[in-house]
């Protein structure tokens, strides 16, 4: 589904990704671990094509097509969808307007919101005055409306209170077709998480540790998370599993 080949990326003159090599096959969900500033969000933003992230070398392939230099909207239309960690507030633009734009008539924003107790937010300005949990729910509702095949989630559980964690987890499970057997899944995922909580709601197939712009370690995501808890990121980065 998604293949990244020797990807080197700068923000201004600073190297933030250094030779990333990554493949996410159809139906699989991969987890990215790493401490703050290691380059995890930069990787997702680069995959989505944000202008600040300048690709110096390498390629991003989506379903075999080179999307390295496609504009962001074209990637979204091809089937990539990103849940932002800290999305901007856009004054005056209602959440319902964005859901409508995401859905392209495929689904009614009202029906979607009603299913997840999100109706009161439809008339509110997008992200304006939202709590951490409300922001995450809003992001995930947009992805549900967008219905991407490659789901990119940047810390979907950060700032979410216990009450909302389950809802967030359920939406992510739906986005990634957790209830289907792997061979029947049509969606793939790449998820950044610090807590690993999200792994209770998705079928995480593979995990990585990112360190200083490089993917250093991969393996079973639960094992990796346990190692991080036991030994910390520094030690994990030395292990080079």
Partner 1 sequence: MSEVKKRAQLSRDKKAPLGPDLDLADFSRHGGEWAYDPDYQHFAPEERGHLLKAGIELTDEDHAGTFLQADTRVVHCQANRPGVEVLPITQALATHDWVAQHLWQLVQVDADKYTARTELDLDNGYFIRALPQVKVEQPVEACLYLRTDRFAQHVHNLVVVEPGAHLHIITGCTTHPGVRSGLHIGVSEFYVREGGHLTFTMVHNWAEDIHVRPRTGVLVEAGGTFVSNYILLRPVKTLQMYPTVTLAGEGAVASLNSIVIAHPGAQVDIGGRVILKAPHSRAEIVARTITTGGLSISRGHLIGLAPDIKAHLECRGLILAPTGQIIAIPELEGHVAGVDMSHEAAVGRIAAEEIEYLMARGLDEEEAVSTIVRGFLRVKIEGLPPGLEEEIENTIQETGKGL
Report residue 180: phi and psi, to 5°. Answer: -100, 155
Q: Does 71 bind partner 1 (CB under 8 A)?
A: yes
* Stretch in the footprint of partner 1 (CB under 8 A) among 9-17, 80-88, 161-169, 225-233: 80-88
* Contacting range for partner 1; rule: CB under 8 A; set: 60-68, 89-97, 190-198, 226-234: 89-97
**Nearest alpha-carbon partner for 93 in 136, 137, 128:** 128
Contact 125, 92 (CB under 8 A): yes
Alpha-helix runs per DSSP H in 22-108:
40-48, 72-78, 95-103
Q: Is 92 in the site for partner 1 (CB under 8 A)?
A: yes
Strand partners, 208: 32, 218
Count of residues that bind partner 1 according to CB under 8 A? 26
The nearer residue to partner 1, 82 or 224, going by C-beta atoms, is: 82
State the sign of the Cα–Cα–Cα–Cα dihedral 115, 120, 126, 132.
Answer: negative
| Shortest Å distance, C-beta 47 to partner 1 | 11
**14/91 with CB nearer partner 1:** 91
Residue 144: alpha-carbon gap to chain centroid: 13
Which residues contact partner 1 (rule: CB under 8 A)? 48, 50-51, 71-73, 76-77, 81-82, 84, 87-88, 90-94, 97-98, 101-102, 104, 125, 142, 146
């Amino acid at each position: 589904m998604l293949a990244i080949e020797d990807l080197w990326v700068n923000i201004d003159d600073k190297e933030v990704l250094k030779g990333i090599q990554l493949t996410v096959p159809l139906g699989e969900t991969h987890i990215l671990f790493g401490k703050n500033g290691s380059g995890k969000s930069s990787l997702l933003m680069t995959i989505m094509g944000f202008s600040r992230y300048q690709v110096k070398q390498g390629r991003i392939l989506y379903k075999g097509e080179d999307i390295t230099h496609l504009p962001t909207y074209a990637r979204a239309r091809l089937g990539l969808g990103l849940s932002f960690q800290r999305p901007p507030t856009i004054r005056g633009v209602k959440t319902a307007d964005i859901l409508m734009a995401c859905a392209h008539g495929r689904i009614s924003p009202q029906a979607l919101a009603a299913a997840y107790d999100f109706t009161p937010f439809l008339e509110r300005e997008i992200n304006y005055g939202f709590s951490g949990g409300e922001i995450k729910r809003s992001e995930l509702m947009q992805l549900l409306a967008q219905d991407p095949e490659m789901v990119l989630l940047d810390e979907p559980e950060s700032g979410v209170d216990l009450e909302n964690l389950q809802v967030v987890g359920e939406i992510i499970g739906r986005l990634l077709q957790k209830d289907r057997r792997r061979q029947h899944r049509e969606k793939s995922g790449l998820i950044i998480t610090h807590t690993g909580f999200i792994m209770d709601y998705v079928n995480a197939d593979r995990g990585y540790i990112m360190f200083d712009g490089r993917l250093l370690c991969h393996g079973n995501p639960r094992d990796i998370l346990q190692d991080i808890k036991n030994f910390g990121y520094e030690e994990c980065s030395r292990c080079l599993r």
